[in-house]
Amino acid sequence: MPVQLKTLLPLFALFILIFLIARHFLIPDSFGKYGHYRADSMDEIAALPVHYAGKSLCIECHDTEAEMLALDQHAGLSCEICHGPNAKHADDYEVKEFLVKDGSRKFCGRCHSINAARKLENVIQVDIVEHHPEKEKCIDCHNPHAVWEIKE
């Protein structure tokens, strides 16, 4: 055996031993119970507060907007994509401070502004500065729920 190995081998053995001891103490108890992850994390994630109520819940109280939405081009959109996560409002309708009601050029432009990375056949794009600049906001003309209901 080369002479260097006589000092290096015990050192390696020591490192491996330290690694195994550290690993033993650092791995959480529930790791590996179901798979290569910490099983307790599932309960922790499930206990997090819910932020989105979901369209079906919004529809229970807002059938007017829901019916309008269903008949036009925005039928595929969820309510909360525009109004923001609102489980709190769905729980208690008096809680309204988190409801977004933005119909500005910038807001609608999130989906409709010209962007080469977006497929035109999925979302129609307009130049949000040049498109009908005679009115300030998009909702001054388009009804957000029934987009082809153009206001005069």
Q: Which residues bind ligand HEC (CB under 6 A)?
A: 53, 55, 57-62, 65-66, 69, 73-74, 76-77, 79-83, 86, 89-90, 93, 96, 99, 101-103, 105, 107-112, 123-124, 126, 128, 131-132, 134-135, 138-142, 144-145, 147, 150
16 or 71: whose CB is closer to ligand HEC? 71
Shortest gap between Cβ of 116 and ligand HEC (angstroms)?
16
41 or 73: whose CB is closer to ligand HEC? 73
18 or 150: whose CB is closer to ligand HEC? 150
Please state, in angstroms and rounded to a whole number, the distance separating the CA atoms of residues 86 and 54. Answer: 9
Rounded to 5 degrees, what are φ and ψ at 73? -60, -20
Position 112: which residue type?
Answer: H
Contact 128, 109 (CB under 8 A): yes
Position 10: which residue type?
Answer: P
